[in-house]
Structure 1
Amino acid sequence: MKASSIFAALFAVALAAGLTACQPRDESMGPAQKAGQAVDNAGDKVARELHDKLDQANLAAQQALISAEQTRVKIAAATEDASKGLDKATEEVGKKVERAGEKIQESAKSK
């Protein structure tokens, strides 16, 4: 064989090998990769659901705090009203006792 024929044959083999190496690979995942992705997806789903439940619990806690604060304000207002009513009743009783004392003094003077 001539050197040019050998060179041409080697060049053709090298070219063919190079072209097959440059072919795109099959991008599908293997079984271990698929299992890993399934585990990752399941973990993400559980995390999302957990965060949703935590958000719901936090919202319920905030609503309970708001309700408790509203109740505290109502109790404070009712206590203040009751205190005012008690003060007024005490004042009225004081006036009646004072009148009764005056009547007793007048009765004592008359005798």
Structure 2
Amino acid sequence: MYDTDKRKLLSALSHGAIFFSTAFISVGVPVAIFFVSDDPVVKENAKESINFHLNVWFYGFIITGLVWITFGLLLPLAGLGYLLHWGLTIWALAQVFSNPDTPFRYPLIFRIL
């Protein structure tokens, strides 16, 4: 049996790490949690968070390129991207706290891990 409070905390840290910064450093939190934790739900949440980080960066590069190519005409797309990435992260945190025994899965992302 695993400690529910510890599971909630580590899972929330994994998903919430993207709020620390959009730099590459923020992915270090779920990577560290993945290697340190022995809880299978926490490990799945950490993996999902790592995949989400990779997706956010990938789509961020695409959106940034499109904004530059169109001389800023697609700048609202960047705002939509931020709203989507923050909204999905808040949803993940809410799910982790309300149902700590089930790993959260982000919809419509590519899963590399």
Q: Which structure's CA Rg is the greater one?
A: 1
Q: Per chain length, whose mean CA-contact separation is higher, i.e. which structure has more relative contact order (CA < 8 Å, sep 6+)?
A: 2
Which structure has greater helix proportion? 1
Q: Same fold (TM over 0.5)?
A: no
TM, length-normalised to structure 1: 0.31
